[in-house]
Amino acid sequence: MNAGIVSYGAYIPKYRIKVDEIARVWGDDANSLKSGLMVHEKSVPDFDEDTATIAVEAARYAVKRSDINAQRLGAVYTGSESHPYAVKPTSTIVAEAVGATPVMTAADYEFACKAGTAAIQTCMGLVQSGMIDLGMAIGADVAQGAPGDALEYTAAAGGVAFIIGSKESEFVAIIEDTYSFTTDTPDFWRREGMPYPEHGGRFTGEPGYFKHVTHAAKGLLSKMGTKPEDYNYAVFHQPNGKFPSRAASLLGFTKEQIKPGLVVPKLGNTYSGSCMMGIAATLDQAKSGDKIFATAFGSGAGADAFSITVTDKIDEIRNKAPTVMELLSNPIYVDYATYAKHKGKIRLA
Catalytic residues: 81, 113, 237
Residue 340 makes contact with other proteins by CB under 8 A: no
Q: State the distance between the two ends of the chain, measured CA to CA, in whole angstroms.
A: 57
**Burial track 33-55 (b if 16+ CB lie within 10 A, e otherwise):** bbeebbbbbbbbbeeebbbbbbb
Residue 192 makes contact with other proteins by CB under 8 A: no
| DSSP secondary structure letters along 67-82 | T--GGGEEEEEEE-S-
Instruction: Assess contact for 311 and 174: CB atoms under 8 A.
Output: yes
For other proteins, the closer of residues 313 and 342 by Cβ is 342
Residue 157 makes contact with other proteins by CB under 8 A: no
For other proteins, the closer of residues 60 and 215 by Cβ is 60
* Closest CB 125 distance from other proteins, rounded Å: 29
- Non-local CB neighbours of 48 within 8 Å, separated by 6+ positions: none
Task: State how far the Cα of 80 lies from the Cα of 108, in Å rounded to an integer.
Answer: 8
Task: State how far the Cα of 349 lies from the Cα of 347, in Å rounded to an integer.
Answer: 7
Contact with other proteins (CB under 8 A) among 31, 35, 46, 320: 46
* Closest CB 335 distance from other proteins, rounded Å: 15
Residues between 67 and 86 with contacts to other proteins, criterion CB under 8 A = 84-85
Residue 52 makes contact with other proteins by CB under 8 A: yes
* Closest CB 118 distance from other proteins, rounded Å: 24
Contact with other proteins (CB under 8 A) among 60, 65, 114, 237: 60
334 closest CA partner among 28, 11, 21, 53: 21
Contact with other proteins (CB under 8 A) among 27, 48, 191, 195: 48
Residue 228 makes contact with other proteins by CB under 8 A: no
Residues between 83 and 112 with contacts to other proteins, criterion CB under 8 A = 84-85, 88, 93, 96-97, 99
For other proteins, the closer of residues 169 and 330 by Cβ is 330
**CA-based radius of gyration for the chain:** 19
Piece of the chain touching other proteins by CB under 8 A; list 24-32, 41-49, 135-143, 221-229: 41-49
Contact with other proteins (CB under 8 A) among 3, 56, 175, 277: 56
For other proteins, the closer of residues 57 and 152 by Cβ is 57
Show the CA angle centred on residue 63, arms to residues 1 and 165, nearest 5°: 5
Task: State how far the Cα of 295 lies from the Cα of 292, in Å rounded to an integer.
Answer: 10
* Closest CB 78 distance from other proteins, rounded Å: 14
Residue 47 makes contact with other proteins by CB under 8 A: yes
For other proteins, the closer of residues 80 and 214 by Cβ is 80
H helices within the chain, ranges in order? 19-26, 30-37, 51-65, 90-98, 115-128, 211-224, 242-251, 255-258, 264-267, 274-283, 314-317, 324-328, 336-342
Count of chain residues binding other proteins (CB under 8 A):
19
Task: State how far the Cα of 155 lies from the Cα of 144, in Å rounded to an integer.
Answer: 6
* Closest CB 57 distance from other proteins, rounded Å: 6
Task: State how far the Cα of 342 lies from the Cα of 326, in Å rounded to an integer.
Answer: 23
For other proteins, the closer of residues 57 and 284 by Cβ is 57
Residue 341 makes contact with other proteins by CB under 8 A: yes
Binding site for other proteins (CB under 8 A): 46-50, 52-53, 56-57, 60, 84-85, 88, 93, 96-97, 99, 341, 348
